[in-house]
Amino acid sequence: MTTPSDPSLAEIMSERRQLINVAYRLLGSLAEAEDAVQETYARWYALTPRQRDDIESPGAWLTTVTSRICLDQLNSARARRERYVGQWIPEPLPEPTEWVGVPADPADRVTLDESVSMAFLVVLESMTPAERVAFVLHDVFGYPFGEIAGIVGRTPAACRQLASSGRRRVRAARSAAAPTDRQLAVVREFKNAWQTNDIAALVALLDPDVTFAADGGGLAPAALEPIEGAEQIARYLADLAIRAAGMTILERTVNGQPGLIAHDGRTIVTVFAFDVTGGHISHIWAVRNPDKLRPWTSG
């Protein structure tokens, strides 16, 4: 009988952080990633002791099952996203030390690096489910195509092509990100210009082809369609500042990159993520859906 002190249990649970990291990158949602990992463990413990003993690499088995669960969710998510109110933006994550209301166990946290930047996650959203799984497992986590083939139900050669297609999408959609210190400076200048309602300064910080996308999910007011162009976005933000005069804007790390949060005096109501390239802001993502702000607001 397995007990909390059983070494096999410790080995199995030590995989949790890796599974959460894989699932979040595949799904773009911490809540859905946690559900996928919980389902994976439920399937593991539904096996008989003999079946578990026959598994040569429990870690590989757990990753395979988690990835298959995520693939199924990605296939069904497309229909759900079509019914989603407004823009669907991946769930933003704070710096691990700033997480609120989530377990302190490092195994329940996502490792923040470039592969979870908002810009990267948005590109992942443009991929087919099979592309996303093949690309993330191979290019981000280094899994061989032979193993990936068993997850997506394709040949290793087909998985290689899927990953290559995903790689092309990333290259086509992304420019070289500015160094972190430059990103921080630009976001800070943006915050100051916004708070002083300096439209000219805002326009100067924004790329001429900048886009602004907001995600309220029908649960919070938000622009339903992306806004494009530096002048249009600067004026939109200036109007927003007037309508939300009591809001406090604070600097925070969002998915490993410099970002901002808006606090209404009671709770965080918006998380802003930025893509800074060439010294200018090329994308702004504003997440207002309260269901996606759980790590920021739950207490």
Question: Which of 132, 130, 109, 122 has the alpha carbon at shortest distance from 26?
Answer: 132
**In this structure, are strands 280-287 and 268-277 parallel, antiparallel, or unpaired?**
antiparallel
C-beta separation of 227 from 236 below 8 A:
yes
β-bridge partners, 212: 227, 284
pLDDT at 4: 43
C-beta separation of 33 from 18 below 8 A:
no
Q: Tell me if the pTM is above 0.95.
A: no
Phi and psi for 284 in degrees, rounded to 5? -130, 130
pLDDT at 75: 92
Instruction: Give me 254's structure tokens.
Output: 């969002």
The residues of the chain scoring below 50 in pLDDT are 1-5, 7, 99, 101-104
Intervals of CATH 3.10.450.50 along the chain: 180-297
Phi and psi for 33 in degrees, rounded to 5? -65, -45
End-to-end CA distance of the chain: 36
pLDDT at 71: 97
pLDDT at 297: 85
Report which residue type is found at 178: A
CB atoms within 10 A of CB 53: 10
C-beta separation of 194 from 186 below 8 A:
no
pLDDT at 114: 78
Which CATH fold topology does 7-173 show? Butyryl-CoA Dehydrogenase, subunit A; domain 3 (1.20.140)
Q: Which residue has the tokens 């886009």?
A: 211
Q: How far is Cα 30 from Cα 36, in angstroms, rounded to an integer?
A: 10
Intervals of CATH 1.20.140 along the chain: 7-173
Instruction: Give me 118's structure tokens.
Output: 């908002």
Mapping DSSP to helix (H, G, I), strand (E, B) and coil, where does residue 218 land? Answer: coil
Q: Across the beta sheet with 206-215, what order do the strands follow?
A: 227-228, 206-215, 280-287, 268-277, 257-263, 248-254
Q: How far is Cα 156 from Cα 162, in angstroms, rounded to an integer?
A: 10
Q: How far is Cα 161 from Cα 51, in angstroms, rounded to an integer?
A: 34
Report which residue type is found at 150: G
Report which residue type is found at 160: R
Which CATH fold topology does 180-297 show? Nuclear Transport Factor 2; Chain: A, (3.10.450)
Instruction: Give me 1's structure tokens.
Output: 């009988």
